[in-house]
């Protein structure tokens, strides 16, 4: 039977060495993997660790390997259902690599970005998954991109086009929406887009206009409030659309509210399509027709790509993840 250390003090590496009847140095070698340890000795050390409940000090292991075992994740707004789901996917995937995640979401992008630049410089994180909320990013991040592992997720940024991008096929998503509305017989259509210049928003519009080149495009900002006001104005025009493609589900909720407040029924008087397929979209009344982004896959591939960069492997941008049109009850043929 193994001897146990007495008292209630935290178990140390010395306690493990004593119980396993080896030196502290041998335990250290077994934990770090820097030097070989015989299978018999390794088994005694493993048994002692399990018996004592010893937890190796992650900070010490990280210092030995020159790694922080932490990655950063920057998203524009974690309260947004899509970005929240992406954060969960990244954390789940990082956990499979024994990596922690430092999450930042801020309405003040300059402060948010500065924080992560400092974490990269100080090597407090091993790499960064960056989800842009604007068309341009801090010039300091551009300078660091060539010297530190960084992966873009969901959103391409022109100044960072040389680093890997993990994203859905936004162009195909916009095209699928347009083809669906065309097949239903709609001809007067409009797009309520995200911020002009933002890659994902522009790609969705381009895909839609590949089918409807003369579609009305109304700039938005992916928020429900702005979508409501822009839609109210659009529906008050002399020839209002019979269908509106909102570039995300949250905006689609604003479109539907604006239609209802004008006395219109969705989808009888106005068809509405969103983008993202957040959980609330299927619980809406009526349930929202939308484009499903593979958010779980995007988070997983982003982590896998980043860990490859951290390990020193060269990697390009993965292929765009496929999207899927989910047809529910907010679209139907226009009234005769």
Reported as a single tens digit per residue, the pLDDT across 242-253 is 999 999 999 999
Residue 4 lies in a domain: no
The domain containing residue 248 runs over which residues?
A: 170-293
Closest to 71 measured CA to CA, from 5, 119, 142, 111: 119
Token code pair at residue 335: 């009234």
pTM of the model: 0.78
Give how many domains the chain has, as a whole number: 3
Residues 286 and 314 in one domain: no
Q: Is the pLDDT of residue 264 over 80?
A: yes
Residues 154 and 189 in one domain: no
Residue 51 lies in a domain: yes
Model confidence pLDDT, tens digit, residues 325-336:
999 999 999 987
CATH number, domain with residue 198 = 3.40.50.2300
Token code pair at residue 145: 């991109």
Residue 24 lies in a domain: yes
Q: Tell me, what's the pLDDT at 321?
A: 95
Closest to 286 measured CA to CA, from 269, 273, 267, 270: 267
Residues 254 and 186 in one domain: yes
Residues 162 and 308 in one domain: yes
In the Cβ-directed half-sphere of 196, how many Cα atoms lie within 13 Å?
4
Q: Tell me, what's the pLDDT at 57?
A: 54
Confidence at 1, pLDDT banded by 50, 70, 90: very low
Model confidence pLDDT, tens digit, residues 125-179:
889 999 988 777 767 777 777 778 999 999 998 878 788 999 999 999 999 999 9
Q: Tell me, what's the pLDDT at 234?
A: 96
* Paired residues of 71 in beta bridges: 101, 127
On whether the CB atoms of residues 313 and 114 are closer than 8 A, the answer is no
Per DSSP, the chain holds a count of helices (H) and strands (E) of: 13, 11
Model confidence pLDDT, tens digit, residues 31-80:
765 566 787 888 888 888 878 877 665 544 454 455 668 899 988 888 88
């Amino acid at each position: 039977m193994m001897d146990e250390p007495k008292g209630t003090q935290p178990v140390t590496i010395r306690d493990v060495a004593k119980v396993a009847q080896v030196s502290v140095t041998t335990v250290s070698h077994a934990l770090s993997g820097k030097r070989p340890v015989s299978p018999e000795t390794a088994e005694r050390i493993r048994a002692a660790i399990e018996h004592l409940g010893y937890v190796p000090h992650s900070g010490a292991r990280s210092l030995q390997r020159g790694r922080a075992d932490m990655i950063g994740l920057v998203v524009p707004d974690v309260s947004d259902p899509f970005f929240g789901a992406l954060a969960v996917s990244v954390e789940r995937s990082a956990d499979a690599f024994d990596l922690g995640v430092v999450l930042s979401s801020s309405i003040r992008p300059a402060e948010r970005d500065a924080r992560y630049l400092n974490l990269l410089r100080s090597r407090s994180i091993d790499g960064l998954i960056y989800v842009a909320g604007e068309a341009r990013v801090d010039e300091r991040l551009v300078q660091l991109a060539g010297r530190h592992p960084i992966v873009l997720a969901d959103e391409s940024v022109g100044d960072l086009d040389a680093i890997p991008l993990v994203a859905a096929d936004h162009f195909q998503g916009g095209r699928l929406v347009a083809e669906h509305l065309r097949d239903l017989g709609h001809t007067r259509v409009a797009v309520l887009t995200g911020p002009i210049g933002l890659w994902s928003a522009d790609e969705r519009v381009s895909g839609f206009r590949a089918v409807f080149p003369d579609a009305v495009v109304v700039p938005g900002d992916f928020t429900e409030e702005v979508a409501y006001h822009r839609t109210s104005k659009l529906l008050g025009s002399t020839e209002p659309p019979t269908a509106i493609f909102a570039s995300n589900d949250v905006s689609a909720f604003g479109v539907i509210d604006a239609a209802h407040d004008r006395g219109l029924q969705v989808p009888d008087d106005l068809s509405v399509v969103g983008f993202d397929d957040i959980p609330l979209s299927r619980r809406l009344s009526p349930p929202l027709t939308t484009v499903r982004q593979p958010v779980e896959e995007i988070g997983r591939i982003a982590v896998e790509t980043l860990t490859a960069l951290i390990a020193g492997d060269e990697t390009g941008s993965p292929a765009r993840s496929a999207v899927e049109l989910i047809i529910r009850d907010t679209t139907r043929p226009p009234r005769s």
